[in-house]
Amino acid sequence: MTTSQLHIALLAFPFGSHAAPLLTLVQKLSPFLPSDTIFSFFNTSQSNTSIFSKSSKPDNLKIYNVWDGVKEGNATPFGREAIELFIQSTPTNFVKSMKEAEEETGVKFSCIFSDAFLWFSCELAETMNVPWIAFWTAGSCSLSIHLYTDLIRSNDETLSKIPGFLSSLRMSDMPPEVVAENLEGPMPSMLYKMALNLHKADGVVLNSFEELDPIINKDLKSKLQKILNIGPLVLQSSKKVQVDANSDESGCIEWLEKQNEKSVVYLSFGTVTTLSPNEIVAIAEALETKRVPFIWSLRDNGVKILPKGFLERTEEFGKIVSWAPQLEILEHSSVGVFVTHCGWNSILEGISYGVPMICRPFFGDQKLNSRMVESVWQIGLQIEGGSFTKSGTMNALDTFFNEQKGKVLRQNVEGLKEKALEAVKSDNGSSTKDFKVLVELIKCHKAT
């Protein structure tokens, strides 16, 4: 068993939008590491199938399926049940697959690089005498909230005392795991243990940029060994976003070319969230009444709920697709506002391309992200009452297309876009420098 090569164990959390960013990060890191570096990617079979069907696999990456906790012959669970079964199967499932990877490659692990949720990675790293690098796939704002779990739970008057947050922050904005009735459930327990152990990580990597939350980042640096903001990853590529005719099967970009600058509303709520029938109808009625140009990413089961005749009545100024090339749409000069569920990737993509947002959060860190968008960064607004109504949606659209406030929000997000570009494009950019630190952190350790 050799220790002469770098062999990096990548431990993914297989739900939501967690595993794919870890793969993206590997693709960014690979060219900067020795050519004989081995990456072993540990994830459930279902998640691996999903992400590797949409993304190319680096030649030096080996894929391993870890047990998802579902006993053979049992029906495939969904949602919370699937997550809880997976959590209960850890860390045994990872340990088993990691031993197989070392035996198969003949190379001991030199580093454990895990989703931050998988807090037990610190114990595995200690046993192997290798560094643990944790990847927090969301923003520094939500990471900070988790680190302050005990303070938040002790007194709801203390939210404004957390560095970098305003007094407008409310308990209802908190991730549900932080304010759960008790911290013994699988998800609350996992995230609480993460908060207690994250100081042991040799580095905590974030897909963000330091200038977005400077006060929060300063506070995080006082609590953790190394905070490395290396994003936005979407801007790390030196190539301009391009769409060829074959990849734009829905014709979104061709359609956008015919629209006026900053006139289009783009609506997308991710792959997990589902709008209620009432909200789908409310959005449709607002779009039709305002006659504002729109692209709406809406799956077939949602299309069935639309008001009768809506597609025909709006075909001159609207486009509904089951899947949309989001990055290319957000980059297009015709797009004026992004209506989103406030998942971190979507928030960061909106900022990266300078598109202000209308927020309708659902779960996890989305409510906190939404509050930051409206009250702290001031680059968008939350939908009135927390869910879509016809009048609330029309009022939100009016803000961006008919009011001075919309211009201010657009200017603010353009300012953050410039800071994001500077962070990743400049040799002295904060994210460029942190990325170099991450590369050295990985390179300088060999298993002993």
**What digits encode the pLDDT tens for the residues 271-307?**
778 899 999 999 999 999 999 999 999 999 999 999 9
Region of 408 please: left (phi>0), alpha (psi -120 to 50) or beta: alpha
Nearest CA among 286, 319, 289 for reference residue 303: 319
Q: 232 and 261: one domain? A: no
- What b/e string do you get for 234-255 counting C-beta neighbours within 10 Å, with b at 16 or more? bbbeeeebebeeeebebebbeb
Helix axes 140-147, 186-197, angle to 10 degrees: 90
pLDDT at 184 over 50: yes
Looking up tokens 């939008």 gives: 17
pLDDT at 155 over 80: no
Residue 115 lies in a domain: yes
Question: What CATH number does the domain containing 182 carry?
Answer: 3.40.50.2000
Q: 164 and 285: one domain? A: no
pLDDT at 113 over 80: yes
Q: CB count, 10 Å around CB of 193?
A: 15
Q: 203 and 220: one domain? A: yes
List 68, 115, 173, 202, catalytic entry: 115
Residue 448 lies in a domain: no
Residue 245 lies in a domain: no
Q: 171 and 303: one domain? A: no
Q: What is the pLDDT of residue 257?
A: 96
Q: What is the pLDDT of residue 237?
A: 60
Q: 341 and 226: one domain? A: no
Catalytic: 445? no
Q: What is the pLDDT of residue 196?
A: 97
Q: 82 and 209: one domain? A: yes
Model pLDDT for residues 318-367, shown as the tens digit of each residue:
999 999 999 999 999 999 999 999 999 999 999 999 999 999 999 889 99
Q: Which two tokens stand for residue 107?
A: 């190379």
Please state, in angstroms and rounded to a whole number, the distance separating the CA atoms of residues 416 and 380: 12
Q: 300 and 191: one domain? A: no
Model pLDDT for residues 85-106, shown as the tens digit of each residue:
999 999 999 999 999 999 999 9
- Total domains in the chain come to 2
Q: 219 and 348: one domain? A: no
Which residue(s) pair with 265 in the sheet? 294, 337
pLDDT tier at 238 (50, 70, 90 boundaries)?
very low
Residue 242 lies in a domain: no
CA atoms in the 13 A half-sphere facing the CB of 337: 25
Residue 345 lies in a domain: yes
Catalytic: 59? no
Residue 2 lies in a domain: no
Residue 104 lies in a domain: yes
Q: What is the pLDDT of residue 1?
A: 66
Model pLDDT for residues 426-441, shown as the tens digit of each residue:
899 999 999 999 999 9
Q: 270 and 227: one domain? A: no
Q: 103 and 225: one domain? A: yes
**The 3-state secondary structure of 355-424, one letter per residue:** CCEEECCCCCCHHHHHHHHHHHCCCEEECHHHCCCHHHHHHHHHHHHHCHHHHHHHHHHHHHHHHHHHHH
Q: What value, to the nearest 5°, has the Cα angle with vertex 324 and ends 55 and 267?
A: 130
pLDDT at 160 over 80: no
Residues in the chain: 448
User: Could you tell me if 10 and 114 are in contact, meaning their C-beta atoms sit under 8 angstroms apart?
Assistant: yes
Q: Provide CB contacts within 8 A for 59, sequence distance 6+.
A: none
pLDDT at 239 over 50: no
Q: 169 and 29: one domain? A: yes
pLDDT at 243 over 50: no
Q: CB count, 10 Å around CB of 12?
A: 27
Q: 213 and 277: one domain? A: no
Give the range of the structural domain holding residue 342, as residue numbers without chain letter. Answer: 252-422
Residue 244 lies in a domain: no
- Tell me the pTM: 0.93
DSSP state string for 265-282: EEEE-TTT----HHHHHH
pLDDT at 407 over 80: yes
pLDDT at 445 over 60: yes
List 18, 146, 341, 445, catalytic entry: 18
